[in-house]
Structure 1
Amino acid sequence: MTQSVVVQVGQCGNQVGCRFWDLALREHAHVNKRGVYDEALSSFFRNVDSRRSGEDPCVLGGRIQHLKARAVLVDMEEGVVNELLQGPLREVFDTTQLLTDVSGSGNNWAVGHMTYGSAYREQIVEKLRRAAEHCDCLQCFFIIHSMGGGTGSGLGSSVLGLLEEEFPDVCRIVTAIYPSAEDDVITSPYNSVLAMRELTEHADCVLPVENQSLVDIVNKIRHMSDGRTGAGIRKESSISCGRGGTEKPFDALNNIVANLLLNITSSARFEGSLNMDLNEIPMNLVPFPRLHYLVPSLTPLYTLADVNIPTRRLDQMFSDAFNKDHQLIRADPRHSLYLACALMVRGNVQVSDLRRNIERLRPSLPFVSWNKEGWKTGLCSVPPVGHSHSLLALANNTCVKPTFMELRERFSRLYRKKAHLHHYLHVEGMEQSFFSEALTSLSSLIEEYQHLDVSHTRLEPDAPRLCIAT
């Protein structure tokens, strides 16, 4: 059985990670009624003997287990991590796998990447190695962080580079939370573009998630619950990771991202008739090394506080997965070009249902001429708790281009005025060339997507191809 390690960096990364562990335990307890440590649990948890270690046990399905999450938690402000350690999941985290500071990164990529990345390099490497040593067969590192702040973007991208350096053969999948245009961190465009250069160069694939898209989805869910007879929120599923289990303002948004992680890891955690290894995602969906940004789409839409809305028909679920309202970034995939697509289905769904819906949708989805059969599919027999089935679509689609163009424009508006630049340049090791190089990297990425769009529009199947990933 393969194992994966989750690396949570910064406030956002640790809050989303907390929701993932909470929901994962909930799913395993729902399936594993006897509370026995099995292969499914070993994929993201390890079992320890608390009688020797002095650690407190946690409960799974009413039976005592000594589970520790395969996780490394890093934050340069100690508030969020300390809150996790005082909350209901405190026994799940190994305290030797936590790294905190007190001053934070001041919403400055350079402080997170240069200052803390250098100061804590050896400690981070040691914690990553220790997490890897607890795995029998390490398959993947999941990195969760935000792009707009200082620690998430700066130290998060530094950790990504360390993973490539220390574990070059282990898949690196990044879940990156992008700020909205109305973000209250004025330097977030700088931080995001500087971090994007690192993600483009060092990640195997990136799942971009926009804050504004999450807000739109949560509002849609609330509207659905208000507009349906008998719909409502199940109180027993409204769980928070903080002290006292109280809901926080961003919990609903974080729950959406946690559900994304639950779906993408479902085949690694449970059995299925057509399981998909995590390293098969970049292998099958990334034909060009740099174009590894995969647009996630979830259906049905729900948060941790599940909405009691009747399940939609199976065929409608597949249609929804290609609807922009179900995407975690604001873009329209049907008006852009597909390079490849993965469908990860959970629940009582047959292979025949999967094939039938692919054939039904195929004519309406514009795929590149040289990869018309670019579909990867996975079937996991265990659905999310409270649902009969669910679907995660991961699309390598040129529709990410407008999102990156908007980010570039916001960056350029600041950079043209050299606004707030001095905050970065006073950091040791930071030079102004980092800004121009990051902007060049982003512009080059946009041009590569544009090249594919133009080639498809002109119907030039023999147009020069980019360097194909090996």
Structure 2
Amino acid sequence: MTQSVVVQVGQCGNQVGCRFWDLALREHAHVNKKGLYDEALSSFFRNVDSRESDGAAHVVGGRIQHLKARAVLVDMEEGVVNEILQGPLREMFDSTQLLTDVSGSGNNWAVGHMTYGSAYREQIVDRLRKAAEHCDCLQCFFLIHSMGGGTGSGLGTRVLSLLEEEFPEVCRIVTSIYPSAEDDVITSPYNSVLAMRELTEHADCVLPVENQSLVDIVDKIKHMSHSGKPGSAIRRDSTLISGQGGLTGPEKPFDAMNNIVANLFLNITSSARFEGSLNMDLNEIAMNLVPFPRLHYLVPSLTPLYTLADVSVPTRRLDQMFSDAFNKDHQLIRADPKHSLYLACALMVRGNVQISDVRRNIERLKPSLPFVSWNQEGWKTGLCSVPPVGHSHALLALANNTCVKLTFTELRERFFKLYKKKAHLHHYLHVDGMEQSFFSEAISSLNSLIEEYQHLDATKGTLMLDAPRLRIAR
């Protein structure tokens, strides 16, 4: 059995990660009624109960006890990590998994990447190695971070490069939360563009998630649930309802948004955590969906995003679930892939779904999805028999699609609004080790990435032989 390690960096990364652990425990407790430590649990949890020779754990209040999460928690402000350690998940982590400071990165990529990255390098590597040593067969590192702040963007991408240095053969899948145009961190375009270069160079796959998409999804579901129409009451165990996710205190504005990202994470890891007739190996995601090394940004879409109180999903709604997965309203970035080019697509299905249902829906949808000419059969399918708690079926689609260039183009525009005025630049250049060349190299990397997606878009409807040559990273 293979194991994976989750690395949570910064406030957002730790809040999303905490919500994932809470939901994952609920899923395992729902399936593993006796609370025995089994292979499914071992993929993301390790058993630390030496008193139980058979590795048994106890289910208390719906939770399987005596487990430690296979995780490393890093934040240069200690607030969120302290909240986790005071909440219901406090037994899941110990001091060898945690690394905090008190002052934060001041919304400055350079402070996170350079200052803290250098000061804490050895401690970060030590915690990553300890987490890896607890694995019999380490398959994947999952990194969760945000792009707009200083710690998530700066230290998060420094951790990513350390993972490549220390574990070059282990797959690195990154979930990156991108700020909206109205982000209250004025330097977020700088932080995001500087981080983008690192993601392009050092990640195997990146799942970009836009804050604005999360806001739109939450608003839409709230509007529907408050409309008073018959059949629009949302069940308490739906994706939208956060349940505080292992943190203490009242619900916060971002909890519902974090919850959606945690559910993305639940679905992408389901094949590693549970049995299925056609489980997808995590390494296969990069192998099958990334034809060019730099073009590894995969657009995620989730369905269902909620469960209605008085509706159980009948079989006839299965086709609707597949249609929804290709609807821009279910995507976690704001773009329309049907007007762009697909390089490849993965469908990760959960629940009692037959491979014949999947094939039928792929054939039904294919005519409306523009695939690159040299990869018309570029579909990867995973079937996990265990649905999320409260749902009968679920589907995560990961599309390698040129529509991501819209997100990157908008980010570049926001960057130049600041950079042309040299606004706030001195805060970065005063950081030891930071030079203005980092900005020019980062924007050059982003320009190149956008250009490569544009070259591919130009091939739509043509043979690759007639298309402009792609610059392939060596």
TM-score bin, normalised by smaller chain:
over 0.9
CA contact (8 A) 2:25 2:63 kept: no
Q: Counterparts of 1:454 and 1:175 in 2: how far apart (Å)?
A: 28
1:93 positional shift: 1.3
Residue 451 (structure 2) pairs with residue 450 (structure 1): no
CA contact (8 A) 1:288 1:467 kept: no
Which residues of 2 match residues 435-446 of structure 1 at below 5 A?
435-446=439-450
The amino acid across from 1:232 in the alignment is A
The amino acid across from 1:134 in the alignment is H
CA contact (8 A) 1:297 1:322 kept: yes
Q: Counterparts of 1:469 and 1:422 in 2: how far apart (Å)?
A: 32
Residue 299 (structure 2) pairs with residue 295 (structure 1): yes
Aligned twin of 2:333: 329
Question: SS state of the match for residue 344, structure 1?
Answer: strand
Q: Which runs of 5+ in 1 are unaligned?
A: none
Q: Counterparts of 2:155 and 2:256 in 1: how far apart (Å)?
A: 25
Q: Counterparts of 1:128 and 1:333 in 2: how far apart (Å)?
A: 36
Deviation digits for residues 131-175 of structure 1 (CA, Å, limit 9, x no counterpart): 000000100000000000000000000000000000000000000
CA contact (8 A) 1:291 1:445 kept: yes
The amino acid across from 1:117 in the alignment is G
Aligned twin of 2:268: 264
Q: Counterparts of 2:449 and 2:12 in 1: how far apart (Å)?
A: 26
Question: SS state of the match for residue 460, structure 2?
Answer: helix
Give the TM-score of the pair, scaled to structure 1.
Answer: 0.95
Label 1:387 to 1:428 Cα distance change in 2 as closer, same or farther (>3 A): same
1:239 positional shift: 1.9
Q: Counterparts of 2:107 and 2:167 in 1: how far apart (Å)?
A: 29
One of 361, 365, 371 as aligned partner of 2:369: 365
Label 1:398 to 1:138 Cα distance change in 2 as closer, same or farther (>3 A): same
Deviation digits for residues 9-62 of structure 1 (CA, Å, limit 9, x no counterpart): 00000000000000000000000011111000000000002669xxxx874575
Which residues of 2 match residues 124-139 of structure 1 at below 5 A?
124-139=124-139
The amino acid across from 1:388 in the alignment is S
Aligned twin of 2:65: 65
Which residues of 2 match residues 44-443 of structure 1 at below 5 A?
44-49=44-49, 59=59, 65-227=65-227, 228-235=229-236, 238-241=242-245, 244=248, 246-302=250-306, 307-308=308-309, 310=311, 311=313, 313-443=317-447
Deviation digits for residues 376-397 of structure 1 (CA, Å, limit 9, x no counterpart): 0000000010111010000000
Which region of structure 1 is more displaced relative to structure 2, 456-465 or 293-302?
456-465
Q: Counterparts of 1:450 and 1:243 in 2: how far apart (Å)?
A: 43
Question: SS state of the match for residue 249, structure 1?
Answer: coil
Q: Counterparts of 1:146 and 1:63 in 2: how far apart (Å)?
A: 29
Question: SS state of the match for residue 17, structure 1?
Answer: helix
Deviation digits for residues 204-246 of structure 1 (CA, Å, limit 9, x no counterpart): 0000000000000111221232344244344577521465453
Deviation digits for residues 163-212 of structure 1 (CA, Å, limit 9, x no counterpart): 00000000000000000000000000000000000000000000000000
Deviation digits for residues 73-123 of structure 1 (CA, Å, limit 9, x no counterpart): 000000000000001111111222100000000000000000000000000
Aligned twin of 1:23: 23
Deviation digits for residues 285-312 of structure 1 (CA, Å, limit 9, x no counterpart): 000000000000001113xxx6526237
Aligned twin of 2:34: 34
Give the TM-score of the pair, scaled to structure 2.
Answer: 0.94
Which region of structure 1 is more displaced relative to structure 2, 117-126 or 311-320?
311-320
Q: Counterparts of 1:395 and 1:309 in 2: how far apart (Å)?
A: 32
Q: Counterparts of 1:16 and 1:407 in 2: how far apart (Å)?
A: 23
Q: Counterparts of 1:379 and 1:259 in 2: how far apart (Å)?
A: 17
CA contact (8 A) 2:35 2:58 kept: no
CA contact (8 A) 1:33 1:61 kept: no
Question: SS state of the match for residue 294, structure 2?
Answer: coil
Label 1:468 to 1:440 Cα distance change in 2 as closer, same or farther (>3 A): closer
The amino acid across from 2:351 in the alignment is G
Label 1:63 to 1:156 Cα distance change in 2 as closer, same or farther (>3 A): closer
CA contact (8 A) 1:299 1:392 kept: yes
Q: Counterparts of 1:77 and 1:297 in 2: how far apart (Å)?
A: 31
1:459 positional shift: 5.2
1:447 positional shift: 0.1
Question: SS state of the match for residue 11, structure 1?
Answer: helix
1:469 positional shift: 8.2
The amino acid across from 1:34 in the alignment is K
CA contact (8 A) 1:294 1:396 kept: yes
Q: Counterparts of 2:141 and 2:310 in 1: how far apart (Å)?
A: 35
Name the % identity.
Answer: 85
Q: Counterparts of 1:244 and 1:25 in 2: how far apart (Å)?
A: 17
Q: Which runs of 5+ in 2 are unaligned?
A: none
CA contact (8 A) 1:105 1:151 kept: yes
Q: Counterparts of 1:66 and 1:82 in 2: how far apart (Å)?
A: 20
Q: Counterparts of 2:155 and 2:243 in 1: how far apart (Å)?
A: 29
Question: SS state of the match for residue 226, structure 2?
Answer: helix
Label 1:238 to 1:438 Cα distance change in 2 as closer, same or farther (>3 A): closer
